[in-house]
Amino acid sequence: MTSKLLRTTLGPLALMLSTPLIGLGVWVATVKYGGSILAVAADWRGAVDAVPRPSAAALGIIAAWFVFQYALLRLLPGPAFLGPVTPAGEQPRYIQNGVAAWWVTHATLIGAWAAGAPIGHLYDHFGPILATLTPAAFVVCMGLYWKGLHHPSSRDVVHTGNVVFDFFQGLELHPRLAGVQLKQLINCRVSMMGWSAITICFAAKQVEASGSLSPAMAVSVGLQVAYLYKFFVWEGGYFGSLDIMHDRFGYYICWGVLAWVPAVYALVALFLVEHAPVLSLWQAGGIAALGLASLAVNYDADRQRLRFRASGGQTTIWGKPAEALRAPWTAADGETRENLLLLSGWWGVARHFHYVPELLLAAAWTLAAGFACALPWFYLFFLTILLVDRAGRDDRRCAEKYGPAWDAYRARVPWKILPGVF
C-alpha cells in the first residue's frame, strides 16, 4: 500500500464512511448514555436503536437558518473585500459584514428568548437535526461536484480523474452561486454562526430545564461565543487561510462544516446541558482567565499577519519594523508573483504558533466539563490531529510553491507549531 493510495483513495473513503457514524454516535453517547462510551458498547443494540432519524421539522429549521444567513449576507451593508489572488490569477470577492451579521443573529436569538420563545427546544430537536444534516450535506457535496464538472465559477478547477479523491477534496476552489461565495456563506455564516447559536440554545435549555445557568455552562459557552465573535471580527483574515485559499470545496470542507461542526464542535455544550459538574467561582474564573488569555494571543497573532499583509509589510510588530522574506512563485498562468513571509512577532516564534493558543482555548472551555467523562474531550483530541495535519500540509504546499525561499524561511523559523518541541 503506497502513501499516495492511502491519501488519495483509501483514506478519503474511510473518512467518508466513518465520520457520519461518529457524528451521530457522539450525540447518542452524550444524550442517551451520559457520555459513557463503555455504556454504549455494553448496550450496542440499544445504541443503534437510539440513533436519531431525519425529520421534516429538522429540515425546516435547517432551511430557515440557511435562508436567514443568506439574507443577512446579501442585505447587510459592508465593504467589498478582495481575497488573495488564486493560482489561476483570479481574485475572489467577498462581502465584509460578518460582525453586523453576528450582532443581528444574536440579537434576534436573545430577543426571541426574552419574548418567551423556548429556544432551548433546539436541544430536543438536535438529534434529528444532525440526522437530517448528515445526508443533506452529502447531497450538497454531490451538487458541488456536478457544478465543478459542468458549470465551474472560475478557472481554479482541478479534476484528477479519481472520483473518490475529487469528491472528497472538491473540484472548485471558490464556487459561487446566487450572488455569493459559497465558502463564505456555508463555512462562515451557516456553520460558524450556527455553532455560536447552538451553544447559546443549549445554555438556554439548561435554564429552561433547571431554572438556572451553571457556572460550568456559563464559562464554557461564554468562551466559545467570544471565540466565534473574534472569528467574525477577523473574517477578512479567514479569507487568507488554508481552508479558503487552498482547500477545494468538497466533502472535506463542505460536509465537515455542515454536519461535523455541529456534531463535534458543540459537543461540550451539549454534554453540559444535563451533566455540568459543580464549579466554584474560583474554578470558573481560572478557566475563564486561561481561555481569554489564549483568545487574546490567538487574536494578536491573526491581527499581526492581517496587518502585515494589508500594509505590504510596512508595519511594526512588537515595537519594531516587521521583518519579511521575499518569496517568488509561479502562477498557473505562467506569471511570476511574489509573497512576503512574516518573520516577526508570533510568526517568528513558530510557523504555526497561533495553533497553540487555539488549542489552549479549546482546552479551557472543555475543562468546564471536568474529567469524570472522556467524551467531551473528543473535540480537543480531534482539533489537535486536524491542526498538526494542517500544519504539515501547509508546509508541503509552501515548499512546493516557494522552493528555496521556503527553505530559507524554515531556517529562520525552524519550529512548526511549538518551539523546542515540534
Range of weakest confidence among 25-39, 118-132, 138-152, 236-250:
236-250
In the block, residue with C-alpha cell 482567565: 289
pLDDT computed for residue 108 by the predictor: 98
pTM passes above 0.75: yes
Would you place residue 220 in the very low, low, confident or very high pLDDT band (cuts 50, 70, 90)? very high
- pLDDT score recorded for residue 25: 97
Q: What is the DSSP letter of 243?
A: H
Model confidence over 46-95: pLDDT tens digits?
Answer: 999 999 999 999 999 999 999 999 999 999 999 999 998 888 888 999 99
CA diameter of the chain: 64
Return mean pLDDT, the chain: 95
Indicate whether 1 pLDDT > 70: no
Does residue 128 register a pLDDT over 70? yes
Percent with pLDDT over 90 in the chain: 87
pLDDT in tens, 91-118: 999 999 999 999 999 999 999 999 999 9
Domain-wise residue ranges, the chain: 17-51, 55-276, 277-422
341 bridge partner residues: 325
Q: How far apart are CA 248 and CA 226, in angstroms?
A: 28
What is the structure's pLDDT at 241?
87
- Per-residue pLDDT tens digits for 187-203: 999 999 999 999 999 99
Q: CA-CA distance, 43 to 38, in Å (whole number)?
A: 9
Q: How many residues does the chain have?
A: 422
